[in-house]
Each structure stands twice: as structure tokens, then as C-alpha cells.
Amino acid sequence: MTDRSVRIAAAQMGPIARDEPRADVVDRMIALLHRARAGGAQLVVFPELALTTFFPRWFFADWAEVDVFFETEMPSAATKPLFDEALRLGIGFSFGYAEADDSSGTRHRYNTSILVDGRGAIVGKYHKVHLPGHEEHEPWRPFQHLERRYFEPGSSFDVWRAFGGIVGMAICNDRRWPETYRVLALQGCELALIGYNTPIHYAPDPTQDALAGFHNHLVLQSGAYQNGMWVVGVAKCGVEEGVDALAQSVIVAPSGQIVAQCTTAGDEVVVAECDLDRCAQYKHTLFDFDRYRRPEVYGLITERRGAIPPPP
């Protein structure tokens, strides 16, 4: 343990009912904050879209019905008590929410997460880059996954100096794409905070359902190892409005090892001591990027979106 050791809590959240008021959700988050505090946490990571039910599961023809799930300011009146209590305790936090940004005169909607330091300042904001699912209503599905309808994608992965290190954020589906971790790591990222809402049923290929937990850990662990960074993956989980979502929140070391894991499918906190100096064990040896990477061979990764097979 060094001076750059941070006690981090993964604050997993169980289902949020569609009619559950924001104030009640924030009360749950404050309760989790207190549990995290009891474990000595300096930073508490909440899930993606932590303030509401996972509304992209429904098709709404009317945008007014969608917009009730969005926040137009942050902190909002409803979330102010969380900011206040965290500030009082001197704890930093991160959570995801649906953001409506009217600052340009046109409404832009994002799947957003923010990073708040121990003095209550929002030091980082991230807009989800990899939006999964579909754009149009697909009635054949048992439930929808309309993130590509309701959100615009973000345009960058950024890092911030916070908690004594270099911190990045990603959201849910981003974690399955190795580019996510790599773009963060190329900016020196030592700690990636990743909230998720992952329905266990994947309608386009249900053979993947039984592998949901395995795939979740596989990508979080490989992302951590291959980039020498801590990764905190935090679920909103359990049966929410009839849809079963993956739990199994984890804190992963730069070695790829899981050092803490939630074992329920509800509101739960696990805390781990995350020594950011341990990143160097990988970043300065096997994964010394400057010494070993070969970007001149990686051209297709940025030149090409889809695969182009060789001629038959």
C-alpha cells in the first residue's frame, strides 16, 4: 500500500421501478454511500442510469414520455441531497444518468456519467460512445433496447486527474470493446469506472444468455490486464419491470484479478483497496506501450469501421 492507494466502493443497485420517485432512489444511493463510508471508501461508483429504471426497454412514440427520464441539470433538486451528503463525508462518487442538454438551443440527449471529487466538484463528464441495441421499434423482441433511438453517442474517451491518479469513465456496452480501454490507457488511465445495465436475455442470439456473467468478467478483466489499470464494473441488476439484469459487480486489479465482487442481485456495496501504483507493474513491463506497441501495423483499426474480407 502506497500513498496512491484509494479505497473504492462498487455500489451496486437493484431494480428501480418505473414509478419510483427520484428522491427514493437518491435515498437508496445515500444509504449505499453510508455503507461505503463504513468500509472506508473514498470513492463510490454507482451504475449506469442510476436514477431511473432502464427506460430504453420501452418504445415511446412521444418524446415527452421519454423526457421524464432525463435530467436537465446536475446536481438536480432530487440529486442534491446525495451531493450534499457526499461532500459532508468528503467522499467522491460517480454515477450514470440520462442527460438532456439544451445549452445549444437544441435538445441533445446522452447516456452520461459524471465524476465528483471529495469536495463536491463535478470534475469529469462522459457521454457513452458505444450505444448498443437498435433505433426502431422491434415488436418481435420481448423487450426493447432503444438506446440508439433515445441517445446521441459521445465523441471521446477522456481522463481526469483525480483521487491521486488518472481516472477515466466508460458505460456498459463500452466495456466489451477493447478500443475503450486502449484509448483511455493511451492517456495514462489508471482507473476506469464502468457502470452497466445488462439484460440477461439477448434477443438477437439467446445462446449468449447463459454466458452473460462470463462475458462481463472476461471483458472487464482483460481490459484491466491488457492496459495495466484498475477497472470498477458496477451493475444495476435484478428483475426490473419484468426484465432480469446481470449483477456480479466487480473491482478488478491491473493483474486482471477480481479483488471484490457483489454476490446479490440487489443494493450492495463491496470495497477494495486500489493501489494505483500497482498499474506500473504492468504499464512499465510487459505492457510498456512505448516500447512494445506497433501502431504502424494497426492502421485498419481507425481506417475501417466494418470488416472487409479478402476476395473469394
Residues 163 to 182 in contact with a copy of itself, rule: CB under 8 A: 166, 173, 176-179, 181-182
H-helix or E-strand spanning residue 302: helix 300-303
Q: How many residues bind a copy of itself (CB under 8 A)?
A: 72
Residue with cell 446481470: 246
Assess whether 237 carries a catalytic annotation. Answer: no
Among 114, 129, 200, 243, binds a copy of itself (CB under 8 A): 129
Query: Which residues within the stretch 69-128 sit at the binding site for a copy of itself (CB under 8 A)?
Result: none
Q: Which is nearer to a copy of itself, 34 or 134 (CB)?
A: 134
Query: Which residues within the stretch 54-73 sit at the binding site for a copy of itself (CB under 8 A)?
Result: none
Among 218, 263, 264, 273, binds a copy of itself (CB under 8 A): 218
Query: Which residues within the stretch 244-273 sit at the binding site for a copy of itself (CB under 8 A)?
Result: 255-257
Among 171, 183, 245, 269, binds a copy of itself (CB under 8 A): 183
- At residue 153, the 3 state secondary structure works out as coil
Dist CA 234 CA 11 (whole Å): 7
Distance in Å from the first CA to the final CA of the chain: 56
Which of 71, 99, 128, 190 is the catalytic position?
A: 128
Q: Which three cell numbers stand for residue 172?
A: 456498459
Query: Which residues within the stretch 266-305 sit at the binding site for a copy of itself (CB under 8 A)?
Result: 281-283, 285-305
Dist CA 260 CA 12 (whole Å): 12
Q: What are 112's strand-pairing partners?
A: 97, 127
Query: Which residues within the stretch 196-215 sit at the binding site for a copy of itself (CB under 8 A)?
Result: 202, 204-205, 207-208, 211, 214-215
Assess whether 128 carries a catalytic annotation. Answer: yes
Assess whether 48 carries a catalytic annotation. Answer: yes
Length of the chain: 312
The pair phi, psi for residue 27, each rounded to 5°, is: -60, -40
The pair phi, psi for residue 179, each rounded to 5°, is: -60, -30
Which of 172, 189, 237, 279 is the catalytic position?
A: 172
Dist CA 46 CA 235 (whole Å): 8
Catalytic residues: 48, 128, 172
